[in-house]
């Protein structure tokens, strides 16, 4: 019955949002069948050390972080369809670059432009959902989008291993084709008028920085999100290197188990708990989720075999369920209508955690071992949870007053 309710909600949302969600599903399949195995490729084929891999992947994410914030603003000015097309074409060409690259420099540039492209796609897609969906089902809309994305994460890794294996670069070419097909769909079948938001004045660069500097609630939200995303965002990177150190022969297989467990848990647990989480403050949900992330890391620390690892991943995944959709709900509620794209773009600053995750985790793994890495990530989860716990209702009212004066 829970699933039928979500299906009914999905049918009732606007056509452009449904097509966007299904596109996100296809793109996630492409990402999940290729990008998680990029770290393994860099280790086994390019011969990089764990800390070098962390810097290689993380620095590209760091550079692309600002692009997402700017992309959110530009989508309000030049149109969301145009920004979606640019991001999709960038991702497709970049994945082709990963396939054809024969040097570390070309590999790095291809990975960089892939991250830049997707850092634009993510906030723009969220702002479309925020603008097009009625307030009465907006929480469920973000949850449905999150579920569909995780369907992609469930299918993608196993599909990638089945199609090409961990060491075959053709996996990047297959992913590139999927991105290009979605690009063609938006180019041919989605008109600019369909993707237009409300007739609102586009925000200026000055207003973007004014909001970031004055809205204390948004700033605390971003800092807390950075800390938490340092734990959950790139878990495939540190788990893949942990598995390689443990037994490189089964690294891809174990990683695919973890990814599939994570995705399936989110797909089946999310509909069961959404009715309860809707009654709770988004900040409380995020706080509980941070605590569960910490317990999941402790579970990885104590795990002795694949069964224990899967149990720890289930706990970790429930924490992720409580964090990610509720972050979008918070942004939607605090963002004024004329700055939806800007606020979701500002949320993209949380992807600084995507840079910190591989850098901190793999540096700790290389120097102090896996136990120290898992305990460090557990501690960061607690810190991130506490940052959301200290938010007060008075701070929220103050942020609203600041925004009204922008």
List pLDDT tens digits, range 158-189.
787 777 655 567 888 889 999 999 999 988 88
Range of the domain at 38: 2-404
Most trustworthy range by pLDDT among 244-253, 334-343, 393-402: 334-343
Question: Integer distance in angstroms from the first to the last C-alpha of the chain?
Answer: 45
Distances (CA, A) of 3 to 32, 272, 325: 24, 8, 17
- Decide if 157 contacts 255 (C-beta within 8 A): yes
Instruction: Please state, in angstroms and rounded to a whole number, the distance separating the CA atoms of residues 241 and 263.
Output: 20
List pLDDT tens digits, range 90-125.
999 999 998 888 888 898 999 999 988 988 888 888
The pTM assigned to this predicted structure is 0.75
Instruction: Please state, in angstroms and rounded to a whole number, the distance separating the CA atoms of residues 239 and 306.
Output: 12
What CATH number does the domain containing 134 carry?
A: 1.20.1250.20
- Mean pLDDT for the chain overall: 80
Number of structural domains the chain divides into: 1
Instruction: Please state, in angstroms and rounded to a whole number, the distance separating the CA atoms of residues 201 and 346.
Output: 18
More confident residue, 322 or 198: 322
Most trustworthy range by pLDDT among 180-189, 343-352, 397-406: 180-189
Identify the residue whose tokens are 């796609």. Answer: 121
Q: Can you give the pLDDT at residue 227? A: 94
- Decide if 215 contacts 346 (C-beta within 8 A): no
Instruction: Please state, in angstroms and rounded to a whole number, the distance separating the CA atoms of residues 109 and 100.
Output: 12
Reported confidence tier of residue 286, pLDDT bands at 50, 70, 90: very high
Is residue 47 helix, strand or coil?
A: coil
Q: Can you give the pLDDT at residue 346? A: 78
- Decide if 180 contacts 311 (C-beta within 8 A): no
């Amino acid at each position: 019955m829970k699933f039928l309710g979500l299906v009914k909600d999905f049918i009732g949302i606007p056509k452009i949002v449904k097509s966007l969600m299904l596109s996100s599903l296809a793109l996630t399949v492409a990402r999940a069948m290729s990008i998680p195995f990029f770290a393994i490729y860099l280790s086994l084929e390019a011969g990089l050390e764990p800390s070098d891999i962390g810097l290689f992947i993380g620095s590209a994410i760091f550079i692309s972080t600002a692009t997402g914030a700017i992309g959110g603003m530009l989508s309000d000015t030049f149109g969301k369809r145009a920004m979606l097309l640019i991001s999709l074409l960038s991702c497709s060409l970049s994945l082709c670059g990963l396939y054809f690259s024969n040097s570390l420099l070309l590999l790095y540039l291809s990975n960089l432009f892939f991250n830049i492209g997707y850092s634009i796609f993510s906030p723009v897609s969220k702002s479309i959902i925020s603008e097009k969906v009625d307030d009465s089902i907006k929480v469920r809309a973000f949850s449905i989008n999150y579920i569909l994305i995780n369907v992609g994460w469930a299918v993608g890794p196993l599909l990638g291993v089945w199609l090409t294996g961990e060491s075959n670069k053709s996996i990047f070419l297959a992913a590139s084709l999927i991105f290009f097909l979605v690009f063609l769909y938006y180019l041919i079948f989605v008109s600019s008028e369909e993707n237009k938001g409300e007739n609102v004045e586009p925000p200026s660069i000055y207003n973007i920085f004014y909001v970031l500097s004055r809205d204390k609630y948004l700033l605390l939200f971003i800092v807390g999100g950075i800390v938490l995303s340092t734990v959950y965002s790139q878990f495939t990177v540190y788990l893949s290197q942990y598995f390689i150190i443990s037994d490189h022969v089964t690294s891809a297989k174990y990683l695919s188990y973890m990814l599939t467990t994570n995705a399936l848990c989110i797909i089946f647990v999310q509909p069961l708990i959404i009715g309860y989480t809707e009654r709770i403050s988004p900040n409380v949900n995020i706080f509980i989720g941070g605590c569960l992330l910490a317990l999941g890391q402790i579970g990885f620390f104590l795990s002795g075999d694949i069964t224990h690892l899967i149990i720890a991943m289930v706990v970790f995944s429930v924490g992720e369920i409580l964090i990610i959709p509720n972050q979008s709900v918070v942004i939607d509620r605090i963002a004024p209508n004329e700055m939806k794209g800007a606020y979701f773009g500002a949320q993209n600053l949380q992807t600084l955690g995507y840079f910190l995750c591989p850098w901190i985790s793999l540096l700790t793994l290389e120097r102090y071992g896996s136990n120290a890495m898992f305990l460090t990530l557990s501690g960061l989860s607690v810190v991130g949870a506490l940052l959301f716990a200290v938010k007060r209702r008075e701070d929220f009212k103050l942020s609203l007053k600041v925004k009204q004066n922008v």
